[in-house]
Amino acid sequence: MPEIRALGPDDADLVLAAVHLFDSPPEDAATRRFLADPGHHLLFALDASGRAVGFVSGVELTHPDKGTELFLYELGVDEPARRQGVGRALVEALATLARERGCYGMYTLADDDNAAALAAYASAGGRETSQPVMVDWEIG
């Protein structure tokens, strides 16, 4: 099983080099901003050679009447590392981090046709609780 490592402000170069894990190449300024925010979390799965084979990102959300929960923003596992428990390990590590940070819960959204993500979330103890409708705004 790969090593799961929580990244911090000094790890921007590791993120920028992991182009193969992201939908688009990470942007330098956005990467540094994300890593500098104590409420933003990025965990990498590193193989024995130190190469990133997966990641999970989370963002703490606090509301006056609810407290703080963690939004699992994105999960990505390199194609050759899939179906080996990497996604599950990353999600479990993020849930542990959420507990350590005092979050009352963790949640994410997934497309109903994303079988790999749904399987990873279920294997890490996640349960489907609703069928939400996502509404978004394109700004700028």
CA torsion sign for 111, 59, 6, 122 is: negative
What is the torsion angle, in degrees rounded to the nearest 10, for the CA atoms of residue 102, residue 11, residue 21 and residue 129? 10
Beta bridge partners of 37: none
Residue 84, helix vs strand vs coil? coil
Beta strands in 1-140 (DSSP E): 3-6, 40-46, 52-63, 67-77, 106-107
Give pTM, 2 decimals.
0.89
Beta-strand relationship, 67-77 and 52-63: antiparallel
Dig out the tokens for 111 from the structure.
């497309």
Per-residue pLDDT of the chain (140 residues; tens, 9 = 90+): 899 999 999 999 999 999 999 999 999 999 999 999 999 999 999 999 999 999 999 999 999 999 999 999 999 999 988 888 999 999 999 999 999 999 999 999 888 888 888 888 888 888 888 777 777 667 77
CATH ID of 3-123, from 3.40.630.30, 3.40.50.740, 1.10.3720.10, 3.40.50.620: 3.40.630.30
Question: Domain residue spans in the chain?
Answer: 3-123
